[in-house]
Structure 1
Amino acid sequence: MRGRQRVASKDHIPGQDKDENLASVRIPNVKPCWRRSLRHVMVASLSSFLYGYHVGVVNETLESISIDLGFSGNTMAEGLVVSICLGGAFVGSLFSGWIADGVGRRRSFQLCALPMIIGAAMSATAKSLWGMLLGRLFVGTGMGLGPPVAALYVAEASPPAIRGTYGALTQIATCLGLMGSLFIGIPAKDVVGWWRICFWVSVIPATTLALFMEICAESPHWLFKRGRTIEAEAEFEKLLGGVHVKAAMAELSKSDRGEGSDTVKLSELLFGSHCRVMFIGSALFALQQLSGINAVFYFSSTVFESFGVPSDIANTCVGICNLVGSIIAMILMDKLGRKVLLLGSFLGMAFAMGLQVIAASSFASGFGAMYLSVGGMLLFVLSFALGAGPVPCLLMSEILPGKIRAKAMAICLVAHWVINFFVGLLFLRFLELIGAKLVYSIFGSFCLLAVIFVKKYVLETKGKSLQEIEIALLAQEATTT
């Protein structure tokens, strides 16, 4: 028996060694197939599609909603219908990190879909203003939960070589959701009750997200952090292929397994060893919103109509520019890198705001002012979609250490939602008080400030694993202290 065992062992070992040696030679030179992870990322991107859809669903339908529910002419009520979802999004975003760490990325997507289904049904069947507001508030919590979890999932489930492309894919999904809601809403002014159909339609992608996430891969990073190593290996096999599992697990093992994400305290995030990366994230999201992008998205129709351009044409033009820019960003993200796209994007936005300032000054009048203003606005949206739109969320999910990634992302996004709300609330008021020239000058100044900030603080993450990025940041922090 012993002799047989030794012979079997002797016969087995050389073959095994040979296989392992071949694998170790092949893995560094062969990149994981993108097709394996694409279907998982596509399902996750439905959360971004829903975010875009619910941002735009009241754009064309608000007039019909206000007439049917009896608050037509009440600008405060109309403003609440548009903006109350931002309050819900703030709450959803604030707790997204704790939810994502507590139940995992897959279950978080399903929890994101649930209030969107309930809220959309409540809005579609609303008989009064309060019913509509409650439905929009429910939808908002899902809107706030979805995008940060999508950014986490893309960062943790994608091969490093195409992570930027997948990050831009979520931005494209947002654009498609926004454009879809605008096109579906076009008949609302002519067909009685059509706006209810617009809300019911959103239940389809939300239900698809909840159901299909059940068969998608869980984040291996989350499983590894929870000590579920065997499950993490199985998920890596789904996402990358069996030949890449050992290399992926070895890379993952470079970072600490941690003691569970619930051990991270808020004070540690804000004032501890992670405060530098938290500052970078919060500042980047703040500058993204202070550039004035949501003022353009919310009030582009007003600017276009002041020059006699119909709102449906205006919305279509803005949507196309946003989509084209996002597609270009997807192509260039893993070629040029995140930092280059951010720098070019903010510079283009600053130039576009310069055109708006000239259009609002005495140097331009008549058709010249119209072409400068409309052209500047479309250039602004295009430039935003090239980098300032898709990059910040992806970049933050890359540079935040695994132990704090979900919670830190949630806190950084607070800056996004708070400034988004105040820009939308105060833009028209500031336009009345200080004039378009000064308002656009302020937005342009923030774009230039963003260029300086990105140049000084942002680390390039193109083609690097999450563990390599974490090590590089630690080294950078050590040299600055």
Structure 2
Amino acid sequence: MLISESSVFSPGEEGVYSNVAMRGRHADAYSMYKRGTRDYINAYDKEQGSGTFTEWTRSLNGLCKEIGNPSWKRSFLYILVASLASFLYGYHLGVINETLESISNDLHFNGNTMAEGFVVSICLGGGFLGSTFSGLIVDRVGFRRAFQLCALPMIIGSSMSATAKNLWGMLLGRLFVGTGMGLGPTLATLYVTEVSKRWLINYISVISQALLLFFHIFANSNLIHAQVSPAYVRGTYGSFTQIATSLGLMSSLLIGFPAKGTEGWWRICFWVSAVPAALLALFMEFSPESPHWLFKKGRAADAEAAFEKLLGGPYVKGAMAELSKSERGGEAETVKLSELLFGHHHKVVFIGSTLFALQQLSGINAVFFFSSTVFKSAGVSSQSANICVGIANFLGSFAALLLMDKLGRKVLLIGSFSGMVVAMGLQAASASSLVSSSNEVYLSVGGMLLFVLAFSVGAGPVPSLLLSEMFPGRIRAKAMSVCLASHWVVNFFVGLLFLRLLEQIGPLVLNAIFATFCLLAVIFVKRNVLETKGKSLQEIEMTLLPPE
């Protein structure tokens, strides 16, 4: 069912319409095609107030049953294109892991842990800049152009990193890449949220099955069929951005192995990343704009055209009706930063910012940045380490895809951070003098793999999806950019200081600190995070933001 009966039906109404009546309603599907947003909302109110809207909704639902679901082929490629931004984020997050030692040798700063930390973390500083302005950019130019602006600095930065002759050239290239990384995750999450509203739930299930087949081919494992209820599928769909990030991480960890024996092999790793960035910019030229953004800008006709491209003609009117309902009374409002930080929305912004900060204070990106270094100190080859980390991250993301809409967001977060506490405890124990050298390797490697697996099940994919659900539509882009700013700031300092802290205080104390932050995250989630599984965006907003 495309529109919930419980939200629009009044008790006792009869709802059986003949096929002739339903076809008649379908013939009227484009009666508002050339109207502006205000005219569309006025027409919607008139229909609803006159009592005909309920009848029309019921006939539309009957018609949708008659003509079947929208073709998943219409939107599948667009979601893949948008997910390239998440792929690039994961790639650039992990590309420095295996290459850092060779880069430091070739560019003559080997042994300088502060310089190595800057090479890792400077892209996170750029990510802070990109994330800070992401909401403004999306509001001004829309998603298609914002994705292209995300790809441009990644292409430039990758080229500069690949041709760097000294430390400063590498730092400048990584800074450019970072600005694109800051834009990418926000855009991908918001874009998926915008196109996975309630009217898309039927064909999303089909897309999920297609994705599972794709993952089966990629991972060469048995296909697991997800039984996803059509009413609770938004989380499954949103998990695909984390899957794309995991694939990017795996690619960055594996791409350099064939060329590793050649001089300057690490430059190839940076050149390769320019290809998906160029494809993102190119394919976005042919992708539809977010109907939500178009409608908010007063371009109702363009929003209908975008829905027709995503869904097909018979489903346009139902999509526009739901969009009109969600946008009524707020389409012209502009949210200010002061309102996000101190006004009516401060609670959800605080929850989001704290959740992202705790995500990074867990130490996850220290693992992605420096796992090769840590494994080498334990006597494990970097190639084996990177393969194991990549597989653990991918399997955890795959599990999140299956469990997100079954167990719920809050359950996954609590379970994920709890598992990370145990994993960090194992890594801390491996550094203890009470552990034999033979057991040290098992505890260190096993603890790190468990940590990555636990993170990718919940703490990785859930926060972005959860916040995109928690924030009302009119503040979603700016609120996400504010929350992600905390992510980038904390991430920057973790990447910058990890090696120095590892030298100064040792792995036992450092891992104990990370474990403490994971434990604090469990407590914070239990006390503050709302379960959004199965709730409409309107229900979530009413729970978190009661009327002023």
Regarding TM over 0.5, the answer is yes
Select the residue among 118, 138, 150 that pairs with 2:176: 138
CA distance in 1, matches of 2:344, 2:305: 33
Change (3 A) 1:312 1:148: same
Query: What amino acid does structure 2 have at the position aligned with 1:53?
Result: Y
Select the residue among 24, 32, 40 that pairs with 1:16: 24
State whether residues 418 and 518 of structure 2, in contact with CA within 8 Å, keep that contact through their aligned partners in structure 1: yes
1:349 aligns with 2:420: yes
> Secondary structure at the residue paired with 2:97?
coil
1:42 aligns with 2:87: no
CA distance in 2, matches of 1:403, 1:87: 27
Residue matched to 1:279: 350
Please list the CA deviations of residues 348-373 of structure 1 after superposition, one character each: whole Å capped at 9, or x if unmatched.
11121222233333543222232122
Select the residue among 127, 135, 138 that pairs with 1:89: 127
Select the residue among 190, 199, 203 that pairs with 1:152: 190
Change (3 A) 1:81 1:438: closer
State whether residues 61 and 188 of structure 1, in contact with CA within 8 Å, keep that contact through their aligned partners in structure 2: no
> Secondary structure at the residue paired with 1:45?
helix
CA distance in 2, matches of 1:164, 1:225: 24
CA distance in 2, matches of 1:388, 1:243: 39
Deviation at 1:134, TM superposition (A): 1.7
Please list the CA deviations of residues 400-439 of structure 1 after superposition, one character each: whole Å capped at 9, or x if unmatched.
1111111110110111111111222333444444443333
> Secondary structure at the residue paired with 1:59?
helix
Please list the CA deviations of residues 45-103 of structure 1 after superposition, one character each: whole Å capped at 9, or x if unmatched.
10111111122223333333344444444444333322211111111111111001110
Select the residue among 58, 62, 66 that pairs with 1:25: 62
Change (3 A) 1:124 1:466: same
Select the residue among 315, 335, 339 that pairs with 2:386: 315
> Secondary structure at the residue paired with 2:285?
helix
Larger CA deviation: 192-201 vs 24-33: 24-33
Query: What amino acid does structure 2 have at the position aligned with 1:406?
Result: A
CA distance in 2, matches of 1:230, 1:18: 18
Larger CA deviation: 419-428 vs 399-408: 419-428
State whether residues 187 and 194 of structure 1, in contact with CA within 8 Å, keep that contact through their aligned partners in structure 2: no
Instruction: State the TM-score, normalized to the length of structure 1.
Output: 0.89
Please list the CA deviations of residues 215-243 of structure 1 after superposition, one character each: whole Å capped at 9, or x if unmatched.
11211111121121122222223223433
Q: Which has the higher helix share?
A: 1
1:210 aligns with 2:248: no
1:461 aligns with 2:532: yes
CA distance in 1, matches of 2:24, 2:523: 54
Residue matched to 1:129: 167
CA distance in 2, matches of 1:72, 1:444: 30
Larger CA deviation: 153-162 vs 73-82: 73-82
> Secondary structure at the residue paired with 1:254?
helix
How many residues align structurally?
A: 466
Select the residue among 101, 106, 112 that pairs with 2:139: 101
Change (3 A) 1:34 1:445: farther
State whether residues 154 and 163 of structure 1, in contact with CA within 8 Å, keep that contact through their aligned partners in structure 2: no
1:379 aligns with 2:450: yes
- Over the residues paired in the alignment, what is the CA RMSD in angstroms? 2.6
Change (3 A) 1:279 1:460: same
How do 1:258-269 residues align onto structure 2 when only pairs under 5 Å count? 263-269=334-340
CA distance in 2, matches of 1:73, 1:362: 26
Please list the CA deviations of residues 146-175 of structure 1 after superposition, one character each: whole Å capped at 9, or x if unmatched.
111111101111235433223221112112
CA distance in 2, matches of 1:132, 1:23: 57
Deviation at 1:283, TM superposition (A): 1.0
Query: What amino acid does structure 2 have at the position aligned with 1:200?
Result: W
Residue matched to 1:294: 365
Deviation at 1:192, TM superposition (A): 1.6
Residue matched to 1:443: 514
Change (3 A) 1:202 1:428: closer
CA distance in 1, matches of 2:146, 2:194: 15
Query: What amino acid does structure 1 have at the position aligned with 2:98?
Result: E
Change (3 A) 1:188 1:17: closer
Unaligned stretches of 5+ in structure 2?
1-19, 28-55, 202-231
Unaligned stretches of 5+ in structure 1?
1-11
Please list the CA deviations of residues 248-269 of structure 1 after superposition, one character each: whole Å capped at 9, or x if unmatched.
3222223335666783211111
CA distance in 2, matches of 1:186, 1:14: 60
Change (3 A) 1:434 1:130: closer
